[in-house]
Amino acid sequence: MLEIQELTQPLITTLTRPTWAEIDLGATAYNVKRIKEIVGPRVEVMAVVKAEAYGHGALGVAHTALASGATWLGVAELNEAIALRQAGIAAPILILAWAPGWLARQAIQHDAACTVFDIDTAGMFSRAAQEIGRAARIHVKINTGLNRLGLMPDAAASAIEQMNAMEGLYLEGIFTHFARSDETNRAPTRVQLERFRQVLSDVEARGIRIPIRHAANSPSILNYPESHFEMVRPGILLHGLDPSKEVPAPGDFKPVMALKTIVAQVQTLPPKSPISYGGTYVTEGYERIAVLPIGYADGFRRGPNPWGEVLVRGQRAPIVGRVCMDQCMINVTHIPGVKQGDEVVLIGEQAGNRIRAEDVAHRLGTSNYETVSALTARIPRFFIHEGHEESRRNS
C-alpha cells in the first residue's frame, strides 16, 4: 500500500478538485479471473459496465475485464454502447434495457446487440437491418418473475417463432433476469429458472436454436451453477462488492474503489456554535471542525440519512451538520494534529481501519449498488493497475 504522500501528492498537483476515486484495475482483473474460475472455461462472461461500471469508470473496467477473460460487455442504453465503440472496443456488446425501435439503425451501425421483447420492435429492427444490409443482433428477454421487461413465458415461443422468420434478424440470445437470487430463500429463483427452462424447451420444440442462453447475475453466479448456461452477467461482483448481505462476495474478492478527499480547513469553534445550514448540529464545548470538499452534488448524500463517518489519520470522524452541495463538515476534536491537506477516506482503508461501501450503504439505508453508482462524474476516477497510476475523467 502506497504511503499517503506518495499517492496523494501527484493528485493534488494534477486534479482540478481535491476529491477523487481510486479504481484498482488490478483488483478488477483478479475478480474477473475468479469469476472465470467459478463458471468454468465453457461459460462466457459478460462484464456489465452500465452506469459507468457502477460508478467505477466504464472504459477502464471494460478494457481490464476483456483482458482478464470476459468476452462480452453489457450496457443499459445505446449511448453507453456507442461510447465504448468510439473508444475502440470491438468486443460484443448487449444493450440490456429497452432499445426503442427507432434506434435500430444506430444500434446496427454500431454493432450493438439489443434486447427485444415484442413483435413490433422486432419488426422495426428487421426493416432497419434490410435497409442497411446488415443483420440486427437481438437477444429476446423473457419475464419469468421479475415483472419488469420481457415476454411472458406462455407467449414467448410463438413470438420468437415470428421473430425468427423476419428478414435481417439474428436471434443471437435469449435471457431472463432474477428478482431474488440474492436471498437465502432459493424457491423464487428456482421457480424463475423452471419457467425459463420451459420457454427454452418450447422454443427448441419449434426447431429454433438460439445460441446464447443467459440468466445468471452476480449472486446466481455464486449460488446457482445450473443458471450459468452459455454466459453469465456479473455486475457488482466485478468490483469486489457483496451482491447482498445474504449472498456476500467470496472472501478473496477484492474491492476496487476507494473514495478520498482532503481536509480544506480546520477551525476550533467555541461552545454553542451552529454548524452548516439550519444549525442542526451545535457544538457542546470547544470542538475542532474540519471542512471537506465533497457534497451531495458528488453523490455524497445529504439525506434522509447521511454518510455517517469518514477516516482521518486512521481514525473515524463523524459528519456533523447538514451536508452542503460541495462541502461537508466533520468533527476531529478527538483526533490530534488534523490539518489542511490531510487525506480523508470515505470508502476504503487507512492505517488499518476500513470503511466499506456496504457499511456506507447500511447507514444510508440503501444498497452498495446505489452507493457507488450515485457518485457523480465530477469526481475524477484515478485508475491504478500493477503499481502504475493513470488519471482519467469518466465520459
Which residues belong to the active site?
50, 277
Classify the C-alpha dihedral 333-338-339-342 as positive or negative: negative
Q: Which amino acid is at 270?
A: P
For the chain, what's the residue count?
Answer: 395
CA distance 361 to 50: 20
Is the Cβ–Cβ distance between 176 and 196 less than 8 Å?
A: yes
Helix (H) or strand (E) holding 235: none
CA distance 326 to 352: 28
CA distances from 167 to 130, 137, 164, 352, 382 (A): 7, 12, 8, 61, 46
Q: Which three cell numbers stand for residue 290?
A: 474540519
What residues contact 344, with CB distance under 8 A and at least 6 apart? 260, 261, 262, 263, 290, 292, 310, 311, 312, 317, 330
The single-letter code of the amino acid at 311 is L
